[in-house]
Amino acid sequence: MKILIVFYSAYGHTYRMAEAVAEGAREVEGAEVILRRVPETLPEDLLKQIGAFDAAKVFEHIPICTVDELAEADAIIFGTPTRFGNMAGQMRQFLDGTGGLWAKGALVGKIGSVFTSTATQHGGQESTILSFHTTLLHHGMIIVGLPYTFTEQNTLEEIMGGSPYGAATIAGNDGSRMPSEKELAGARFQGKYVAEIAAKLTK
C-alpha cells in the first residue's frame, strides 16, 4: 500500500506539515510512505528577493515528484500553500501535466486528500482545499478530509488552522510562525486517516 505525499513549499511551512502527515501515515501497518515535492518554477533571482531561496535548502533533499509516481500510489496527499485563495502556481503547473493520466483513468478510485498553509487565519484555507478537490474529482479520485473525530478542531484555546476539508497551518504575514503542535497533530491525524482508508480499499 503506497501513500504518496506531494507538496510545494516556499518557506518550509507546508514541508513541516508534510512531514507530520507522513508520520501519521507511517503508523498504519503496511503503509509505504513516499514524500515528494513538485518542481520550483520561479527564477532563482526572484526566490532570493522574496527570501525563499535559502529556506528551500531545508527540503531540497526531497526528490522531485514525477507524474508517473501518482499512478503508482494507492493514496495521494497533496500539500500546497495558498496563493490568493487557490493552490500555488507550482502545484497547478504540476497537475496540469497529468492529462495523460486523466486520459487513461489512471487515478480513478485512488484516495486524494489535501492540506495547506496560509499567511492569515482567513487567508483561504478552505477555498484552497475545496478548489483543489475539483481537480481530484476530475481524475475520479475519492476525497478524504479531516473529520471532526480530530477533536482539536473544536478548540478555542488558540488560533489555528484546519477544517473538515483538511489540515492547515497559519504562517503569519511575515512567515515567522511555524506550525503549532495542534496543527501538526491535525496533519498526523489526516495522514493516518488516509492510510487507514487506503488499507481498507486495497484489501
Using pLDDT thresholds of 50, 70 and 90, give the confidence band for residue 53: low
Closest CA to 160 of 187, 194, 140, 131: 187
* CATH number of the domain encompassing residue 156: 3.40.50.360
> Would you say 134 is a known binding-site residue?
no
> Would you say 12 is a known binding-site residue?
yes
Domain total in the chain: 1
Give the helix/strand (H/E) hosting 33.
strand 32-37
The predicted model scores a pTM of: 0.95
How does pLDDT run across 54-102, given as a tens digit for each residue? 777 788 899 999 999 999 999 999 999 999 999 999 999 999 999 999 9
How does pLDDT run across 11-33, given as a tens digit for each residue? 899 999 999 999 999 999 999 99
> Would you say 16 is a known binding-site residue?
no
The whole-angstrom separation of Cα 25 and Cα 12 is 20
> Would you say 139 is a known binding-site residue?
no
The domain in which residue 131 lies consists of 2-202
Contacts of residue 19, defined as CB under 8 A and 6 or more positions apart, other chains included, come to 35
Q: Which three cell numbers stand for residue 182?
A: 495542534
> Would you say 138 is a known binding-site residue?
yes
> Would you say 155 is a known binding-site residue?
no
